[in-house]
Amino acid sequence: MAAHEAAAQAGMAAAAARAWPVVLRHAGAVLAMTSALDTSVPNMARVYNYWLGGKDHFAADRAEAQRLVELYPPLPALARENRAFLIEAAGWAARQGIGQFIDLGAGLPASPPVHQAARAVLPAARVAYVDIDPVVLSHAVALLATDDGVAAVDADLRDPAAVLGNQDLRAVINPGRPVCVILGAVVHFLDPQAACAVTAGYASLMAPGSCLVLSCARFENEELAKQLAEEYTAATWYNHSPAGITEFFDGLELAGPGVTEARTWPKRPPAADDRNGHVLAGVGRVPGMRLRQCTRTADA
């Protein structure tokens, strides 16, 4: 593990020297992404890593994360609930016999990673971690893509056809077979139209029997949501409605309780709940093929 961590740090330095993504904004809108080394700019992957208790963040990321926590103290708990859901859902998909996983907007490595969760059920499961952040990718290469069947893929999740046609992804994933596509805490960085287009794009290209795992932050208090969106400078954030989040699964068969809270999936949340902030989550299956229960080997 020490060697892997050293490699990750070396990879991070090399990636930063090549290009550091800097977000240019005006009135809260993302205008462009440029390449420059600027650790004073908060980064969404590093802010999330901080909330999860990770160590891959800088002072600007910590300041932003703490400022947001002052507005809504349960934010780190929501991040942990989201991560727990993704691991639970990955294991669920593997138990249905799905042996291929695409983690979109994967972010910095968290423990356990998706491929470990999947391989706890199907030892031969294959996973592609997809992101466009060079530092995220350097960590994925050093710490995740160290085994056969695990790849780090430089691709933009907003282009489903390009992602599924990516040569590096296809080295470990066969899109013609059932696959589990994961959009964990990603769609709230897309406006409603873009989020619908992205989810519909993957659903239309995934083989029958595939599944879409999706989670999204949601705040009932619109004034609080507005404050959080204004304070969150690492990206533009949207407070999608529960109905809108359910719409992301159009054309898919929702598993279990449907769209519910990540902290309780696949069960329903308590009837009495006064929480303002939630992570809403669900798993949708592409119809047309009955999934088999499998707990031993993958044949994807």
What pLDDT digit, counting tens, does each position of 54-86 carry?
A: 999 999 999 999 999 999 999 999 999 999 999
Which range is least confidently modeled, 2-16, 63-77, 100-114, 158-172? 2-16
pLDDT above 70 covers a percentage of the chain that reads 82
Other CB atoms within a 10 A radius of the CB of residue 180 amount to 28
Tell me the pLDDT band of 295, cut-offs 50, 70 and 90.
Answer: very low
What are 192-226's pLDDT values in tens digits?
999 999 999 999 999 999 999 999 999 999 999 99
Listed residue (227, 232, 216, 206) closest to 300, CA to CA: 206
pLDDT of residue 107: 94
β partners of residue 219: 277
What are 231-251's pLDDT values in tens digits?
999 999 999 999 999 999 999
